[in-house]
Amino acid sequence: MRRVIYPGSFDPITNGHLDVINRAATLFDEVVVSVAFNEQKQGLFSVDERMALLREVSPKLPNIRIAQFEGLLMDFARRQEATAVVRGLRAVSDFEFEFQMALMNRKLEPQIETIFLMPAEKYTYLSSRIVKEIARLGGDVSAFVPVSVAAALREKFATPKG
């Protein structure tokens, strides 16, 4: 059983994340899409909201599971009996942080490999951070996120009436 963890903030999930999930699902027996809970990093969406969006928009494949974790990724990956962790790599700018994280994670758990998948090039410029900024300023994000995520963003940034 080859199980891979796809960890992230997913605040919120974008079409780029979905691209990586689909690619990972063809390579592994099971993909555990795992939302990291970080007390020090307040997201726009709560972990429960992110999980709900992930459940709603993730491909309905038998080998994709949605989970959440707190603490060290490698501890979680070990508990899940995962063989690998997958991360999306969009551009050279991602590389430095990802390289550091992958090597540190290898120190913590040498048995679990980190692998990188490149999403389709049309997603190279896409990030949750930029999507949130566009949505906050009233821009159209429908090309970058699933319909229900766009709706959830609109709701978050709706100016209260009255």
Tell me whether residue 83 or residue 105 sits nearer to ligand PNS (CB atom): 105
From CA 35, how far away is CA 26, in angstroms rounded?
Answer: 21
Among 4, 5, 8, 32, binds ligand PNS (CB under 6 A): 8
By CB under 6 A, is residue 15 in contact with ligand PNS?
A: no
Question: Does 142 qualify as catalytic in the annotation?
Answer: no
Question: Does 132 qualify as catalytic in the annotation?
Answer: no
Instruction: Output the smallest distance, CB 134 to ligand PNS, in A.
Output: 18
Among 4, 18, 32, 36, binds ligand PNS (CB under 6 A): 36
Q: Which residues bind ligand PNS (CB under 6 A)?
A: 7-9, 36, 72-73, 101, 104-105
